[in-house]
Amino acid sequence: MKTKSEEDKSENEMRLELKYCERCGGLWLRPVGGEQVYCVICARQMAELPPGSCEVGRARMQQGPRWEEGPPDNGDGDEAEDATEVWDE
């Protein structure tokens, strides 16, 4: 059976978990089940930043031709060779 002082002690206890800051990597304590992901210092700095832009959908590679006016010049006055050509030296 618990004594009165033991019951008072357990009521005043707070459960904490060790968490790493997802910005600086520092270790800190937060209440169990807490939603915080940044330490206090980083949370303040992050609050000062403008909100990030978020486009809905998937990121896509740009489609279409790579060059506006054909392949680039390779520097010897001739146009770039076909990438499938085999070099004989």
pLDDT tens-digit series, residues 33-66: 999 999 999 999 999 998 877 766 776 777 777 6
d(CA 31, CA 42): 18
pLDDT of 29 higher than 80: yes
Contact indicator for 24, 45 with CB cutoff of 8 Å: no
* pTM summary value: 0.46
* Phi–psi pair at 72, nearest 5 degrees: -75, 160
pLDDT of 75 higher than 70: no
d(CA 21, CA 75): 50
Expressed as residue numbers, the domain containing 27 is 13-48
Number of domains in the chain: 1
Q: Does residue 81 lie in a domain region? A: no
Query: Sign of dihedral through CA atoms 58, 63, 67, 69?
Result: negative
Strand segments (E) across 1-89: 16-20, 27-31
Q: Does residue 29 lie in a domain region? A: yes
